[in-house]
């Protein structure tokens, strides 16, 4: 069985200041993300036991737990890599720029939709720029919690965590200001790599 582990941040905890503060990053990575890793390991272990016993009611329960913690773990891995110090700006990759322009009209229109979608998520969740693996086109989707409202043929290429733990220390109830700040740390090279 896979034993999932918490990957270290690809930069220092204070590297995204002033946009994302150090205390939020420490709590978010060391406490919240770790809890999803531990939850996924526990769910997969319990799932194996329930399968062994043929207890399908328990299998259903642990499958849901694995979906919650697994989606939480994998989206956070993308989220950390989606950011970097001195990020933001616009993508340098021509293929990604073409895909954005053909779907949204322009980079600016895509980002306006991304910010509006992130601000409007009901409760905890994510705003995601995704690539549809059947049509190869881009879209902007939101996820409630981590796993709900998913489209399974899409791949997240840009993920912004809009759970309150991602921004409340610095931005309190002003989620729009946080989503706006996030755009200043986006690692567009990482987004392009995932797109390709």
- In whole angstroms, the minimum distance from the beta carbon of 78 to Mn ion comes to 11
Among the listed ranges 12-20, 38-46, 111-119, 155-163, the one in contact with Mn ion (CB under 5 A) is 155-163
d(CA 191, CA 36): 23
d(CA 76, CA 57): 29
**51 or 145, CB closer to Mn ion?**
145
| By CB under 5 A, residue 81 contacts Mn ion | no
DSSP state of 99: H
> 94-104 vs 107-120: helix axis angle to the nearest 10?
70
Among the listed ranges 45-53, 107-115, 136-144, 160-168, the one in contact with Mn ion (CB under 5 A) is 160-168
**9 or 138, CB closer to Mn ion?**
9
Q: Which of 142, 167, 166, 144 is nearest to 156 (CA)?
A: 142
Applying CB under 5 A, which of residues 44, 81, 161, 190 lies at the interface with Mn ion? Answer: 161
**62 or 167, CB closer to Mn ion?**
167
**124 or 151, CB closer to Mn ion?**
124
Distances (CA, A) of 40 to 70, 71, 165: 6, 9, 19
| By CB under 5 A, residue 74 contacts Mn ion | no
> Measured on CA atoms in the order 116, 122, 128, 134, is the torsion positive or negative?
negative
| By CB under 5 A, residue 44 contacts Mn ion | no
**Residue 70 in contact with residue 40, Cβ under 8 Å?**
yes
**19 or 163, CB closer to Mn ion?**
163
Among the listed ranges 41-49, 128-136, 147-155, 162-170, the one in contact with Mn ion (CB under 5 A) is 162-170
- In whole angstroms, the minimum distance from the beta carbon of 88 to Mn ion comes to 20
d(CA 49, CA 66): 14
Applying CB under 5 A, which of residues 163, 168, 174, 189 lies at the interface with Mn ion? Answer: 163
**Residue 125 in contact with residue 144, Cβ under 8 Å?**
yes
Among the listed ranges 88-96, 134-142, 156-164, 172-180, the one in contact with Mn ion (CB under 5 A) is 156-164
Helix segments in 54-154, DSSP class H: 56-81, 94-104, 107-120
Q: Which residues bind Mn ion (CB under 5 A)?
A: 161, 163
């Amino acid at each position: 069985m896979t034993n999932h582990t918490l990957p270290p941040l690809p930069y220092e905890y204070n590297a995204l200041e002033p946009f994302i503060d150090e205390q939020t990053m420490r709590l978010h990575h060391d406490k919240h993300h770790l809890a999803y890793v531990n939850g996924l390991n526990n769910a997969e272990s319990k799932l194996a036991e329930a399968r062994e016993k043929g207890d399908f009611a328990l299998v259903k329960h642990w499958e849901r737990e694995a979906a919650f913690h697994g989606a939480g773990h994998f989206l956070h891995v993308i989220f950390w890599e989606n950011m970097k110090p001195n990020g933001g700006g616009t993508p340098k990759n021509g293929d990604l720029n073409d895909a954005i322009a053909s779907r949204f009209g322009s980079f600016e229109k895509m980002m306006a939709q991304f910010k509006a979608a992130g601000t409007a998520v009901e409760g905890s969740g994510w705003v995601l720029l995704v690539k549809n693996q059947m049509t190869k086109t881009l879209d902007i989707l939101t996820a409630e919690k981590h796993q709900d409202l998913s489209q399974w043929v899409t791949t997240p290429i840009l993920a912004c965590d809009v759970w309150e733990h991602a921004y409340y220390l610095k931005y309190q109830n002003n989620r729009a200001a946080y989503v706006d700040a996030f755009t200043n740390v986006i690692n567009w090279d990482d987004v392009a790599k995932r797109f390709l």
